[in-house]
Chain A
Amino acid sequence: MEQCPAMITIENLSHTYPGTRKMPPRTAISNLTLGVRDGEFAILSGPNGSGKSTLFRILCGMTLPGSGTVRVGGFDLFAQPAKVREIMGVVFQSPAVDKHLSVGENLRIHADLYGLKGTDFIRRRDGALGWTDLDGRLDQKVETLSGGLARQVELAKVLMTDPKVLLLDEPTTGLDPMSRRNFLAALHKLQKERGMTVLMTSHVFSEADDVDRVAIMREGKLLAHDTPIALKAMIGTEMVVVHARNTEALAARLRADMGLAVRCIGDEVRLEETENGESLPLLERILERYRADISSISIKQPGLDDVFVHVTSKAVPDHALALELRKAAS
């Protein structure tokens, strides 16, 4: 993995929106450096106003930054935008389709924009549709499709041109959980099969667990950028989660008998902030004494949403600092 060449290289990128009479200038990105490796599935995340949308607009060539460089597939994005457009596919948050036209007509226009013709077009179109649930809907107008299917038209469009790099801007916004899951499953499978480099903005963390790397931004700066496992390890703790028939009673006994600081959350009894390596012996001890009361027991890693809250919360000025504090305390 380390040897993989970079597909997207962002160096010292800064962007400030020029002020107007009514609004002072606003810095959206400040001195950001970030790389996405070839064939990697990366997620770019951050709270609203963190600069990720601005970064997205810069990456797809719609906005020029104040300073810094971006190279995509070896081409300078600002000097050779046409070269980059040829290898890049973009899925926007509001689908870039004409709702008044049919699915087939939309795909035809997109093919024309990328110079796909004749049997090559038909082959690629049918190949792309194979990834979607749009079978037999070529003549249907996009405005009559559900939100999930309209998003799939957008995906099919992009896939026809076989991009090396795929950028997606919160592509699952507004989709129901099932459509969201299907969309992501197709995306993951595609990415592996075609070896595409995927960079997706998202703040839904259930989407981030099986990606290669996650970048988290806040106030235009990169706060964390690592694999989901490494990010979760950054928080450094595990928790023991127990499901029981009567959680309150079990919690009371755990507190009284074993002196544990447990919390009841929903139908779970949680032992949070267990240091690494302590969880398993603890689990065994609990299981030994209360086996009859327990329906399930597990060790849980903190989720990425825990990491997100940890890293981006205003109370923590900088995650590096937070780690320092943690080390000092322990």
Chain B
Amino acid sequence: MTGMAPVAFSLAKREFTRFIRQPQRVLGTVAQPLLFWLFLGAGFGGSFRPAGMENVTYLEYFYPGVMLMMMLFASIFSSITIIEDRDAGFLQGVLVAPVSRLAIVLGKVLGATSIAMIQTLIFTIAAPFLGLHLGAGALVLLLMGFLLTGIGFSALGFLLAWGMKSTSAFHAVMMVFLMPLWMLSGALFPIGNVPGWMKAVMLANPVSHALVIIRAPFYGGPARLFTDTDYLLSLAVTVAWAGLCLGLSMARVNRRERGV
């Protein structure tokens, strides 16, 4: 069997090559969240006054939420190309090759994650204009947050897309499934001032924990964060989520159609 890392790298590189050959795709995925951020940020700016956050503008509050949105949507929508791969025949060639099934999942997931990270990193250019400054350590933590979020949710996208017949079905599922998860993550409004039932949903939502590890580096370096139990809990949840989705995806690829 061929080694896992070179196979995963080769397949991930293919995703990336395809992505950069479609400039519209780059523009579209960066421009949409940017507009979202600017319009919602400006619109809600005047009325956003949550307790304990008096000196945070809505534009600043919403900023990590938009980054999360970019990571989520870019990674999930990149992993749906698995449907196209299957229909166009490329996937068959990979499946009959002597490669680990995990390498097939990792190739797609890492490709999708790197695409999402590039887009999101373009967006971090805005940080200094909000008065947010990232030290070297904090930047590493932020990148780690992007990476873990990307892996977890592109693996989720992979898992959902694997058995689907068409990309349009996938879009529909994502709109009723992914959008609410993002809305209930604390990206749009803080978790503190909501009804009790909603708070429970928000805390159980893995996307909320991804948001915590993306937002925290803007307000503290590694020394502070690694002693913060809330941060460590969210980090653990995000790692576990990524592991779970990868494992389930691999099991899904491994499961072959069986006769009776």
Contact = CB atoms under 8 A, between A and B. Distances in A.
A62 B90 contact: no
Interface in A79-130: 82, 85-86, 88, 90, 92, 94-101, 105, 108-110, 112-115
A82 B92 CA distance: 15
Interface in B227-260: 256-260
Given A96-B90, A112-B10, A115-B2, A63 B96 contact: no
Interface string B90-113: 111111111100000000000000
B52 interface: no
Contacts of A115: 2-3, 6
Interface stretch (A9-17, A243-251, A273-281): A9-17
Given A86-B98, A100-B18, A113 B10 contact: yes
B165 interface: no
A61 B256 CA distance: 8
Interface in A16-48: 16-18, 25, 28
A62 B257 contact: yes
A108 B10 contact: yes
A117 to B, nearest CB: 8
Contacts, number: 102
B92 A113 contact: no
Given A101-B17, A114-B2, A90 B260 contact: no
A62 B94 contact: no
A64 B88 contact: no
Contacts of A96: 89-94
Nearest to B90: A98
A112 B103 CA distance: 12
A108 B6 CA distance: 12
A20 to B, nearest CB: 12
A90 B14 CA distance: 21
A16 B2 CA distance: 33
B260 A97 contact: no
A66 B259 CA distance: 4
Contact of B260 (A25, A62, A110, A112): A25
A16 B258 CA distance: 9
A67 B21 CA distance: 46
A86 B96 CA distance: 9
B176 interface: no
A28 B257 CA distance: 14
Nearest to B87: A94
9 contacts: A18-B259, A62-B92, A85-B99, A94-B88, A96-B89, A96-B92, A100-B21, A112-B2, A113-B97
Interface of B: 1-3, 6-7, 9-11, 14, 17-18, 21, 85, 88-99, 256-260
